[in-house]
Copies of this chain bind each other. A is one copy, B any other.
Amino acid sequence: MISGQATAPAPSSARTPAPAPSSAAARSAADAGSGKGAILRAARRAFTQRPYAEVTIRGIAADAGVSPSLVVKHFGRKEELFNTVADFGPAAAELFDAPLEALGRHMVVTLVNHRRELQSDPLLRVVFSLGNQDERSLLRDRFHEQVTDTLTARLPGRERALRAELIAGHLLGLGATLSLHREGAGADATTEHIADLYAPALQSLIDGA
């Protein structure tokens, strides 16, 4: 669970077709550093920073240093590319892939390792879209469905939706502060040590204590 994606092929077979539908996270794992990875990073930047109507394949291609036709070849047209970027399903599958009694630590370790290995956060891009009021609510709708609602369904006990929202907050906040303090103390700390300090809060909300 540390080095790979739960739903992605192993890195050594990354270039073979994935059995599951392709997705942003699976593609990130397979294509980190390649042209595809650069296109996805550019697409995430574009879709989270500009109104949907202002985003162009040409602009994403220029940002990624590739031709517009290569973008379309790999990911299809604008709507398809947006759907790929807005998919939190594989990230959620990986984050939630642990028994309840170990889920808090698993989520923290998985999130930090994902960030360090893929140079991207599995969830944080939904926050970049918050300042905007336009059709990009798809990103938020997907987050609700694939992250918050999925987590709510896993939790035992009372006030499951509220606890799931607060757990999502802890996860988003961890990504936010690590992004914000790229050269800070968190950057020097081991994943396990960050989990020692940060995961008890998540586990407490999971347990419903």
Which residues of A does B touch, CB under 8 Å?
Answer: 44-45, 48-50, 124-128, 130-132, 140, 143-144, 148, 159, 161-166, 168-174, 176-181, 184-186, 189, 194, 197-198, 200-201, 204-205
Query: Known: A49-B131, A128-B128, A131-B48. Contact between A177 and B168, CB under 8 A?
Result: yes
- Once the chains bind, are B144 and A181 in contact (CB under 8 Å)? yes
For the complex formed by this chain, how many copies does it contain in all? 2
Which B residue sits closest to A171, measured CB to CB?
B173
For A49, what are the chain B residues with a Cβ–Cβ distance below 8 Å?
49-50, 131-132
- Cα–Cα distance between A171 and B170 once the two chains are bound (Å): 9
- 11 more CB-based (< 8 A) A-B contacts, given A130-B180, A166-B197: A49-B50, A144-B180, A144-B184, A164-B185, A168-B177, A169-B174, A171-B173, A172-B176, A200-B204, A201-B201, A201-B204
